[in-house]
């Protein structure tokens, strides 16, 4: 049996709908990001929703991508948003992002981590590709040869100093680091 939002400390409201005798689906409003235990099929952490703006208006976050920083540690991960923000979460520290920064003016569509565990690669909806130090949010560099469409995926080779990116209406890009 799942806990209610009040029991788990999760902000937001939950609504359940019965779906044609197949069971119920649970929808949550105001939930940022969740971390799930695959062995237990249970939620182990939920981010806190962003605060209202200066006008008192709550704008929900639309997440578009995420990646863990280390294969051996589930506590730190990076998420990209439709509002061109990149956020670092540390679930052992707090429920809001520990680092947050903007990248250009179009939605973040892909995030990948380097083998060093602190360099990340960001691709956005207008084909921009860049690397950042996620510990500080500092831009390390932008890749030349802008893609002609939205970047949907980025992967770092585990041994060689190359990344590959792909996406909508775009030529393949193989960038040397």
Each residue's pLDDT tens digit in the chain (177 positions)? 344 333 444 344 454 444 444 444 444 455 678 999 999 999 999 998 877 888 888 778 889 999 999 888 889 999 999 999 999 999 999 999 999 999 999 999 999 999 999 999 999 999 999 999 999 999 999 998 767 788 999 999 999 999 999 887 544 445 545
* Beta strands 34-37 and 42-46, pairing class: antiparallel
Handedness of CA 146, 129, 82, 102 (dihedral sign): negative
CATH dotted code for 62-176: 2.130.10.10
| Structural domain spans, the chain | 1-49, 62-176
Q: Distance of alpha carbon 48 from its chain centroid, rounded?
A: 14
- What's the pTM? 0.75
| C-alpha span between 89 and 106 (Å, rounded) | 21
């Amino acid at each position: 049996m799942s806990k209610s939002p009040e029991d788990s400390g999760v902000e937001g409201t939950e609504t359940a709908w019965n779906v044609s005798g197949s069971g119920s689906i649970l929808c949550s409003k105001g939930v940022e990001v969740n971390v799930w235990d695959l062995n237990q099929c249970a939620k182990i952490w939920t981010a806190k929703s962003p605060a209202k703006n200066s006008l008192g208006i709550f704008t929900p976050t639309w997440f578009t991508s995420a990646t863990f920083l280390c294969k051996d540690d589930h506590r730190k991960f990076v998420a990209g948003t439709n509002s061109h923000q990149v956020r670092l979460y540390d679930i052992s520290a707090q429920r809001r992002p520990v680092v947050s920064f903007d990248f250009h003016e179009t939605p973040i569509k892909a995030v990948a981590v380097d083998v060093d565990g602190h360099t990340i690669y960001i691709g956005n909806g207008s084909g921009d590709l860049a690397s950042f130090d996620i510990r500080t949010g500092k831009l390390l560099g932008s890749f030349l040869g802008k893609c002609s469409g939205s970047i949907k995926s980025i992967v770092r080779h585990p041994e060689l100093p190359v990344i590959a990116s792909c996406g909508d209406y775009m030529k393949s890009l193989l960038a040397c680091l």
